[in-house]
Amino acid sequence: MQLNQVIIAHKAGDSLSKSWAEKCARQLESRNCRVLMGPSGPQDNPYPVFLASSTQPIDMALVLGGDGTALSAARNLAADRIPILAVNVGGNLGFLTESFEIFKDSEQVFDRLASDFYAIQRRMMLQAQVFEGNSSNLDPVSDRFLALNEICVKPASADRMITSILEMEIDGEVVDQYQGDGLIIATPTGSTAYTVAANGPIVHDGMQAITVTPICPMSLSSRPIVLPAGSVVSIWPLADYELNTKLWTDSVLGTSIWPGQRVDIRMAEYRAKFIILRENYSYYQTLREKLQWAGARIRYSNNHRDN
């Protein structure tokens, strides 16, 4: 990998993340690399300015923070196919990030990148757009929204908890109506995020699939389902007289959805590219560590494993 121009995004409001970003910027600049650096957070999105001001290809984005910081980078950089090195500096769970222990010798990490001693993991994303009327109308009335974890359709109100009524179509066929707190449409990456908290399925991140998980449905028959990646999920808000239904992307507010409108959700044409430094990366080890799987209450030895 060439390191001629690099983005460094640090978690907004986190002093540790910022100090490491400044340290890495100095190290890269000493290698004659141009650095674009800024904070990333709910109120800070540096990527449009970085992309607009760049006069040469961006080789990599170094993202220092937690999963939220990595998700923001993926949404903004996937379309430009910029690889992301996400490092858990000031983050919490860290499903999407490399550990700080691997990164703390950052000079060695930059040597590895320059020598192509790393792997690239491509993760499926979702895209959503809002349309007026039925599926024959293909002229969107909203921007395109990207998500690495999930697209969520649920209401929001400042003064009360609202029950939503949503109708879902899959590839133009009505599947069900859901009454509850909303619907989560997730990628395999997102199956271990909001979806798993809503009792949805865990799907290996090497697969291409879409999961639909109801949030606190008022019917025991409303169950999560797993769909082929080529499916188009359309959601209609019903009986929303106060216009509270919202579209959320990776837990970030996207736009409002009014009765008479539908949101179409499908696999995005772009994939997020994450740089992997770990030489022994294991999806199952990540599940065990991050979800703290304890196994059976009594541990049994498996004496047959090495026979």
Please give the positions annotated as active site. 67
- Residue with token string 């908890």: 161
C-alpha closest to that of 83 among 270, 271, 269, 273: 273
CA distances, 132 to each of 135, 217, 258 (Å): 9, 26, 9
**Cα 226 from chain centre:** 18
Distances (CA, A) of 101 to 87, 91, 208: 10, 13, 31
Counting every residue written for the chain, the total comes to 307
The DSSP 8-state label assigned to residue 44 in this structure reads: B
In whole angstroms, give the CA distance from residue 173 to residue 135.
10
3-state secondary structure of 194: helix
Angle between helices 106-114 and 15-29 (to 10 degrees): 50
Burial of 139 by CB count in 10 Å (0-12 exposed, 13-18 middle, 19+ buried)? Answer: exposed
